[in-house]
Structure 1
Amino acid sequence: MPLSMWIKIEISAVLLGLLGVAITLLELAYWSDLPEYVHEIFRGGGPGAFVVGLFLLAALLGSLLFLVNLGFKRFAFWWLRLLGIIIFFTGMVIVGASGI
Structure 2
Amino acid sequence: ASSSYSVPGAYFEIDIDIHTWGNAALNGFNTIKPKMPAMLIRSGVTIQAEDDDEMPEQMLAGCYLTHLDSSRGAALQPELEAYLLAPENGQPSLLIKRNSFQRRLSGD
Asked if these proteins are the same fold (TM beyond 0.5), I'd say: no
- Please identify which structure carries the higher helix content: 1
Higher relative contact order (CA 8 A, sep 6+): 1
Q: TM-score, normalised by structure 2?
A: 0.27
Q: TM-score, normalised by structure 1?
A: 0.28
